[in-house]
Amino acid sequence: MKILFPLLTSILFLTSCASLSHYPGIGRTRKYTFEHPQVPQSFDGFRIAFVSDIHYPSKFKRKHLHNLVRALRDLQPDLLLLGGDYQEGCEYVEELFTELGRVHPPYGTAGVLGNNDYERCTEQIRECMERHQIRVLEHRNDTVWRDSSFIIVSGVRNPFDLKANGISPTLALHDSDFVILLTHTPDYVEDVPVPHTDLALAGHTHGGQVSFFRLWTPQTGSKYGSRLLTGRRTDSHGLPVIITNGLGTSRLPVRFCSPSEIVEITLKREYSDNRNGL
C-alpha cells in the first residue's frame, strides 16, 4: 500500500493535470473526433482548431502568443475558430490580432466575442478582427463551402444578454444542415433553445483554472457547476458541447490541474452500418 498510493496519485496527476506541449505557454493540444451523419462527405476529415480566453497578456505573455501562432501553423487546421475574451486591456488588441492574422487556414478564421470584450474596446476588437480577415460572428451564420457541400458555423452575440440575444441564430437554419454553434459560454445552450445545432463550442470556464485533480473545482465559471466545466459534455437535451480550458487566466495568473489548451476537432461522416441487416 505504501508504494501503491503514491503510484496512483502520480497516475491521477499525469492524466488530469499534466501539461504535454512543446509550446511554452500552451499546456496541451486536446484532440477530439466528432462523427455525425450530417457531416458532408467532402468534409470527412476536416480539421478545426478552436482557441478561446486568451486574456492577453494575463498569464499568456507575448512569447506565448508567438508560440500560439507557431502551434496553430504546425497543426495546419482547415478552419480556425475563436471563442472570445481576447484581451486584458485595449492597448493589447492590435498586437493580438496582428499575430492571429498570421495564421492562414485555407478556410479562414471566424470568432465571437466574450464578456470581457463587451465590457471594453468592443468596436476596436471588431474592427481589428475584420481588418485581419477574421469573420466576426455576432448572431451570424457563416457558410463554409468545400467542393459543392457546406457546413455552417453559427456565432452568438453576447450570450450573457439574453434579453437581446435570447433567440438563437440557428433558428433560421435547417435540420439537414450540419451546424456548429460558437458561443463564449456553455451556459447559453442550456439557457436558450438552439435548434438545428449538431455541435456547440464554448470557453469562458477556464476549466475552473484551479481544480484539485478534477475532484473539486472551487470556481467553475458556469452556473451549472462542473456539468459544463471542460471537455466533451452534453446539455440536458443531449446536444454535444466541447468546452475548452482556454489559454489565458482571469483574476489570478494561476492554473492548477486545468492546463491551458488548443482544441483540435476532426469531423467525420458517420455512416449507418447496413451489414447483417443493421
Tally the C-alpha atoms within 13 A of residue 83's C-alpha that lie toward its C-beta.
Answer: 32
Question: Is residue 260 situated within a structural domain?
Answer: yes
Question: Is residue 116 situated within a structural domain?
Answer: yes
Question: Is residue 174 situated within a structural domain?
Answer: yes
Whether 248 contacts 208, CB under 8 Å: no
Q: How far is CA 57 from CA 112, 203, 248, 264, in A?
A: 19, 17, 8, 23
Whether 237 contacts 43, CB under 8 Å: no
CATH of the domain at 43: 3.60.21.10
Question: Is residue 23 situated within a structural domain?
Answer: no
Beta partners for 87?
Answer: 56
Question: Is residue 82 situated within a structural domain?
Answer: yes
Whether 142 contacts 154, CB under 8 Å: yes
What is the grid cell recorded at 89?
486591456
pLDDT, tens digit, 9 for 90 and up, residues 211-221: 876 677 778 89
Question: Is residue 196 situated within a structural domain?
Answer: yes
Give the pLDDT of the chain (278 residues) as one tens digit per residue: 555 544 444 444 445 576 667 899 999 999 999 999 999 999 999 999 999 999 999 999 999 999 999 999 999 999 999 999 999 999 999 999 999 999 999 999 999 999 999 999 999 999 999 999 999 999 999 999 999 999 999 999 999 999 999 999 999 999 999 999 999 999 999 999 999 999 999 999 999 888 876 677 778 899 999 999 999 999 999 999 999 999 999 888 889 899 999 999 999 999 876 434 34
Domain, as residue range, for 108: 29-270
Question: Is residue 35 situated within a structural domain?
Answer: yes
Question: Is residue 211 situated within a structural domain?
Answer: yes
pLDDT given for residue 213 in this prediction: 67
Looking at the whole model, is its pTM more than 0.85? Answer: yes
Q: What is the CA radius of gyration of the chain?
A: 19
Whether 276 contacts 263, CB under 8 Å: no
Whether 77 contacts 237, CB under 8 Å: no
Grid cell 439557457 in the structure block, residue? 191
As for how many domains the chain has, the answer is: 1
